[in-house]
Amino acid sequence: MTQLALFDLDHTLLPCDSDYEWGQFLARIGVVDGDFYAKQNERFYQDYKEGNLDIQEFLRFALKPLSEHSRAQLKEWHDAFMKEVIHGQLRQQAIDLVKRHQDAGDLCCVITATNSFVTRPIVESFGIKHLIATEPATIANDPLANYTGEVKGIPNFRAGKVQNLHDWLTAQKLSFDQMPRSYFYSDSMNDLPLLEEVSNPVATNPDERLRHEAIKRNWPILELFA
């Protein structure tokens, strides 16, 4: 029977935050106002780590640059971002973790709050086909059209990850009841709702709050980048 292996992305499979790094990259190349964007980016990043992130406010900020440029221009910048930032952050330990699940025949999926424009090429670098992410809305809901700066559906954050996962499983004609085991690897206390949902939660490179929770609940702790 199919087993499910879910992976958070930022600070779980990657030793960095791809959303934050994308914002820093845009500031470096002059696409956004450097000082303002860097300060706001840092503020949201700290709010996320402390568990105080206003996801709607953050997404209005993060998705705005996508709405101001063509898809072709965005792809050109993202290709450069992959080469200059992300490729150097791919770690063999994380690749090996994914491969162990793939070799076992598990259904592998990255589930991340970071939007799919930023994350899909990164996820593909791990050889993972499936991605559940915050989805940027497009003009007239055309998947190839330019972005609007709004969110399509439920932001993939905290309880939203659980809802979006169940919707995705339904689309795959699957459910938790059909799977003997379900794994979720995450670094963040923000992911507690989904960690509680699976049969095998794994605190991976955990922040201090999640580390404390994992010890209390006797969940395994995995340090990929130690």
- Residues with catalytic roles: 8, 10
**Cβ neighbours, 10 Å, residue 201:** 24
Question: Could you give the count of Cα atoms lying within 13 Å of 30 in the half-sphere of its Cβ?
Answer: 0
Residue 131 phi/psi, 5-degree rounding, is -140, 130
Q: How far apart are CA 157 and CA 47, in angstroms?
A: 14
Q: How far apart are CA 185 and CA 221, in angstroms?
A: 9
Report the candidate in 151, 167, 87, 165 with the shortest Cα–Cα distance to residue 122: 87
Q: How far apart are CA 165 and CA 72, in angstroms?
A: 30
The pair of structure tokens assigned to 142 is 């055309």
**In angstroms, what CA-CA distances link 148 with 137, 141, 192?**
6, 10, 31
Strand partners, 4: 107, 182
Strand partners, 184: 6, 201
In 78-218, DSSP assigns E strands to 107-115, 130-138, 147-152, 182-186, 200-204
